[in-house]
């Protein structure tokens, strides 16, 4: 999911969705990326309705709406394509949509009683609810507290999969770099793994 933050320009984040959307499907241990394999939107024309709904570019205005998918394919999809199950644009985007619908994060959070609110949550309570529901621990990323603020803002929930696309725990090994580091900037801020100690704000919409 993304949120629209005050630092962002007026052209960005027009009418953001009020539900969790897809950021991407990222292989984290492959160097075999075919950077010459360029994005071709006609290959995913059958997926277009679902792509616009579940995988919108919420950070930029809709005039150039395929730019986000192009970026995700060229940076991550061309690496993921080393797996047979993801070895075409249609398979890559189609499988990401399938995983999103299988995880069904929107209804899981609601069932756990975690919904956008003006009061704060404890990060440990959110983690426990998700782990109870999925049987694995996802990686939750936040926008750190601003100067003078005490709360972090939840911004992205990342699920990890095996090569067979089965859910697994998201545990970074010591010294392993985060493949997502600096991939998503909100204004001047970057998302980082949420702290267990800060109160956590889960806004319905921030603009």
- Nearest in space to 100 (alpha carbons), one of 170, 166, 20: 20
Would you state the structure tokens that stand for residue 84, as one six-digit string? 């047979």
Please say if 158 is a catalytic residue.
Answer: no
Question: Which one of the listed residues 23, 32, 38, 190 is annotated catalytic?
Answer: 23
The DSSP output letter for 60 is: S
Please say if 53 is a catalytic residue.
Answer: no
- Enumerate the β-bridge partners of residue 190: 185
- The answer to whether the CB of 103 falls within 8 A of the CB of 155 is no
Q: Alpha-carbon distance 90 to 125, whole Å?
A: 37
Question: Which one of the listed residues 43, 60, 76, 102 is annotated catalytic?
Answer: 76
Please say if 189 is a catalytic residue.
Answer: no
Question: Which one of the listed residues 72, 98, 102, 146 is annotated catalytic?
Answer: 72
* Angle at 28 (CA atoms; ends 197, 74), nearest 5 degrees: 120
Active site residues: 23, 72, 76
């Amino acid at each position: 999911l993304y949120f629209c933050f005050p630092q962002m320009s007026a052209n960005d984040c027009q009418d953001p969705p009020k539900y969790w959307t897809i950021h991407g499907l990222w292989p984290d241990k492959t160097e075999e990326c075919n950077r010459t394999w360029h994005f071709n939107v006609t290959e995913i024309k059958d997926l277009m309705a679902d792509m616009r709904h579940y995988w919108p570019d919420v950070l930029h205005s809709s005039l150039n709406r395929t730019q986000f998918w192009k970026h995700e394919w060229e940076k991550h999809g061309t690496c993921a394509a080393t797996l047979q199950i993801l070895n075409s644009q249609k398979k890559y985007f189609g499988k990401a949509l399938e995983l999103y619908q299988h995880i069904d994060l929107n209804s899981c959070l609601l069932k756990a009683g975690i919904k956008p609110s003006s009061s704060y949550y404890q990060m440990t309570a959110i983690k426990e609810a998700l782990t109870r529901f999925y049987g694995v621990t996802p990686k939750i990323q936040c926008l750190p507290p601003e100067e003078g603020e005490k709360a972090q803002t939840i911004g992205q929930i990342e699920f990890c999969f095996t090569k067979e696309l089965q859910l697994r725990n998201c545990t970074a090994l010591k010294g392993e770099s985060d493949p997502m580091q600096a991939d998503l900037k909100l204004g001047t801020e970057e998302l980082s793994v949420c702290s267990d100690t800060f109160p956590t704000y889960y806004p319905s919409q921030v603009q």
